[in-house]
Amino acid sequence: MKKLAMTFITSALLIGGTLAAPISTEAAAKKYANCTDLNKDYKGGIAKDNKVTNKGGKTKFAPTVSAELYKVNASKDRDKDGIACEK
């Protein structure tokens, strides 16, 4: 009886694991229409990594670092410094 129960549990775990949909980080990255909308959620803009520096001078807010968000919103990085919509 124990062997049957273990076989059932193992089978259920294997089937459940293969039926689960993978979670995509790309689906979570939101594309914004413009910098005004982006800055409502991310006041300092979005940086592609923590090594980039702002070419535009001093800013009010530090950017949020997210490679996925930056990739989706890279068109909003007008000065091509690695930070989209810096403020």
- Structural domains in the chain (count): 1
1 within some domain: no
Closest to 84 (Cα-Cα) out of 48, 55, 51: 48
CA distances from 13 to 22, 26, 33, 77 (A): 16, 27, 42, 46
Q: Give per-residue pLDDT as tens, 9-66.
A: 655 555 655 444 444 444 578 999 999 999 999 999 999 999 998 887 788 999 999 9
52 within some domain: yes
5 within some domain: no
76 within some domain: yes
37 within some domain: yes
8 within some domain: no
13 within some domain: no
User: Can you give the pTM of this predicted structure?
Assistant: 0.66
Please identify which residue in the block is written with the tokens 């989209």: 84
| Structural domain span for residue 66 | 24-84
19 within some domain: no
φ, ψ of residue 47 to 5 degrees: the values are -100, 145
Closest to 69 (Cα-Cα) out of 40, 33, 29, 36: 29
